[in-house]
């Protein structure tokens, strides 16, 4: 998701410091010029894993994205909206390239003529994230969530939704309010349509440890 390469400094056996280049493919997002690396990138740099081994989502993340996508598909007006999935990119400016798990775009903002092989450079109405896909060792997960959320809201996104599987909560953020809600409660996505992650998982017999 990024446009710049970076380096990571390592200690040599003699104690001197050398820089090791990190491939651009390991950069998940860039916010205000700061690269955020994919979770697991350190193992790739160390030669313990391949890029392909850290690219995939867990089965739990995937089933939640599926649930939300199908849920949206049941009420969305396809003459008015596009629903983009599979980490659609958002180009905010030359220093910021983000991605979402699901993004709902008004066709008034993203018309059919704008669909291309490039990132969208206009804001979705709703941006949905399922868990954190970056290595947070050099920052905090909370800081990253709020930084990315604020960047999206300032860009013009109406609502940003985070589903966090470890905490079993949903964060719903707008310009007016940020709420943290138990994921077993009904939560409005848009236009009065409510989803319930906890109830869906229970219905499907899925237990989260």
Confidence check: pLDDT of 87 > 90: no
Is the model more confident about 154 or about 140? Answer: 154
Task: Let me know whether 21 and 94 are in one domain.
Answer: no
What total of structural domains would you count in the chain? 2
| Residue-range definition of the domain harbouring residue 109 | 59-203
Tell me, yes or no, whether 45 lies in a domain: yes
Tell me, yes or no, whether 104 lies in a domain: yes
Task: Let me know whether 93 and 182 are in one domain.
Answer: yes
Tell me, yes or no, whether 42 lies in a domain: yes
Tell me, yes or no, whether 208 lies in a domain: no
Task: Let me know whether 94 and 35 are in one domain.
Answer: no
Confidence check: pLDDT of 31 > 90: yes
Region 49-67 average pLDDT: 86
**pLDDT, the chain, mean:** 88
Is the model more confident about 15 or about 75? Answer: 75
Question: What global pTM score does this model have?
Answer: 0.86
pLDDT band at 11 (very low <50, low <70, confident <90, very high): very low
Region 51-64 average pLDDT: 84
* Helices assigned H by DSSP within the chain: 41-45, 51-55, 59-75, 141-155, 197-203
Per-residue pLDDT at 2: 40
Confidence check: pLDDT of 56 > 70: yes
Give the tokens for residue 23: 């491939």
Task: Let me know whether 82 and 23 are in one domain.
Answer: no
Q: HSE of 112 in the Cβ direction (CA atoms, 13 Å)?
A: 3
Task: Find the CATH number of the domain harbouring 63.
Answer: 3.90.1570.10
Q: What is the pLDDT of residues 189-207, one digit of tens each?
A: 999 999 999 999 999 999 9
pLDDT band at 16 (very low <50, low <70, confident <90, very high): very low
Tell me, yes or no, whether 209 lies in a domain: no
Per-residue pLDDT at 180: 97
Long-range contacts at 149-154 (CB < 8 A, ≥ 24 apart): 149/173, 149/178, 151/31, 151/32, 151/92, 151/96, 151/98, 152/90, 152/98, 152/123, 152/127
């Amino acid at each position: 998701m990024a446009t710049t390469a970076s380096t990571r400094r390592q200690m040599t056996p003699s104690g001197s410091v050398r820089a090791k280049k990190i491939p651009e493919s390991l950069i998940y997002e860039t916010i205000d010029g700061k690269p955020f690396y994919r979770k697991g990138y350190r193992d790739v740099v160390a030669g313990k894993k391949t890029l392909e081994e850290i690219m995939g989502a867990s089965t739990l993340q995937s089933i939640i994205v599926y649930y939300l996508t199908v849920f949206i598909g049941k009420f969305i007006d396809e003459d008015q909206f596009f629903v983009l999935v599979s980490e659609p990119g958002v180009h905010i400016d030359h220093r910021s390239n983000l991605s979402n798990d699901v993004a709902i775009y008004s066709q008034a903002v993203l018309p059919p003529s704008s669909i291309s092989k490039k990132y969208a450079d206009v804001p979705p109405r709703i941006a949905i994230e399922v868990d954190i896909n970056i290595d947070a060792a050099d920052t905090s997960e909370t800081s990253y969530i709020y930084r990315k959320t604020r960047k999206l809201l300032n860009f013009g996104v109406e609502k940003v939704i985070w589903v966090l599987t470890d905490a079993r909560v949903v964060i719903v953020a707008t310009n007016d309010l940020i709420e943290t809600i138990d994921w077993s409660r009904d939560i409005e996505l848009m236009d009065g349509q409510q989803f319930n992650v906890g109830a869906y998982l229970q219905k499907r017999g899925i237990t989260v440890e």
